[in-house]
Amino acid sequence: MKRLVIVGDTLLDRDVEGAVRRIAPDAPAPVLDEERVHERPGGAGLAALLAAADGHEVALVTALSSDAGGARLSEMLTAAGVELYALPLPGATPEKVRLRSGGQVLLRLDRGGDPVPPGDAPPAALDALRDAKAILVSDYGRGVARHPALRAAIEASAAPVVWDPHPRGPAPVPDARLVTPNLAEVCKLSGDAGDGATLTTAQRAGHLLRRRWRAAAVAVTCGPGGAVLCHSGPTPLVVPAPAEASGDTCGAGDRFAVAAALALADGALVSEAVQEAVRAATAFVAGGLPAALGAMPASPAVSGPERVGADQAGALVTEVRARGGVVVATGGCFDLLHAGHLATLRAARRLGDCLVVCLNSDESVRGLKGPGRPLTAQADRARLLAALDCVDAVVVFDEPTPEAVLSWLRPDVWVKGGDYADGGPELPESELVAHWGGQTVIVPYLDGRSTTRTIAAARSGS
């Protein structure tokens, strides 16, 4: 197990697949009949998924918005086993939507507006960088790679640094072990227009950037042509692709950078790491992105009042934070709402300016409590909670624990009610909440109130 810490911008990628059978009557444009939608983390999030799919320990330091897109990204990343350290991101989650038919991209729609600087980095994110076996900076030009505290922590780390740059992003930190631009990026970053000879252009521009950036090496990726490694010697190392591979190249650059970083974490030479990265990227293109990632978890949906759902919770949290308020969250099954629940919820609400309840879905409750639970469906449980004057929003989550939704909400205070005081077990979410500088607290509960006891008493007739 090699702990890889990935730093960079995460986007929400959506592929809308469909069939084109006609031209629109009101414009000379094809009409796409939507058949299915695939969504996944993009940018640094995709790099993290690829590394986690290889079976490695992966931490992702990124920026997430408090909206439904941020919630979905957090859900997918956490479900894949990625340890998430999220900086607050003002505005909407950036999205890339590709409209596809017959394996071809017809149009790409970008959402999210101009990049905005993320907020402060939680101390736990800086600690993760200090403990890294290797660091991969996956820059997509939206601001995370410019963050001063993150850059200082990356520079101070003894781990090998692989930097995947972006034309709109900052220069890599000095002494990066390997920088991995593609041929188009290296020409744009260097100002070299190219002369039609791929090898010559890659070598010339790569060496120029290596000296400018004070990097140990620059590997220029050339698609099916493999990669050109420019290092301190006068002669570049040309690493051809092991085989011809045809397919969707989306994500191939991330696959290359991840493989190189993992190889360096294992003690490989830079030349060996680039060879492994070319092999991995070629296999990735041949197999395709779905084969590399598998199915992403579905997001549970709850229809209900206006205070239920990720969109509503995201809007609330954004508004409260904009005015400097304190966001409080708590969680649970709330199968049979009783006085003990009400006492905990009221106590939690008094700790801040809004209270978001993270509610276990029906599937989650069954996994925790057994096939006979819940007694009350998630839609009804969500409505009952949202009707309480001490609850400002309800978000349903499908996992056994609320880690994914917590990573998205990033509450200032996480509240537990129950038997954790007086020498009880350590609070399970405390370490996670500390990732963004939050605090976990216990509030008093009414002794003797328990859903399980209530059900047992009703069944026994007592």
Phi, then psi, of 66 in degrees rounded to 5: -90, 65
Distance CA(374)–CA(336), nearest Å, equals 9
From the list 45, 55, 115, the residue with the least C-alpha distance to 75 is 45
Please tell me the distance from the alpha carbon of residue 218 to that of residue 415, in angstroms, as a whole number. 48
Give the residue from 248, 251, 261 showing the smallest Cα distance to 219.
Answer: 261
Residues 6+ apart with CB under 8 A from 154: 7, 129, 135, 137, 161, 173
Helices of type H across 39-132: 44-53, 68-79, 123-130
Cα(101)–Cα(241) distance, integer angstroms: 29
Rounded Cα gap, residues 299 and 315, in angstroms:
18
- Which entry of 164, 254, 335, 362 is annotated as an active-site residue? 254
- Name residue, tokens 């090898």: 199
Q: Is 412 a catalytic residue?
A: no
How far, in Å, are 202, 263, 277, 330, 349 from residue 272 at the CA level? 19, 8, 9, 48, 56
DSSP code at position 299:
P
CA angle at residue 47 from 42 to 48, to 5 degrees?
A: 100
DSSP code of residue 87: E
- The length of the chain in residues reads 462
Separation of alpha carbons 231 and 210, rounded Å: 8
Single-letter code of the amino acid located at 373: R
CA dihedral of 62, 67, 69, 73, whole degrees rounded to 10: 40
CB atoms near residue 57 (< 10 Å): 15
d(CA 86, CA 93): 13
Contact 64, 44 (CB under 8 A): no
Enumerate the active-site residues.
254
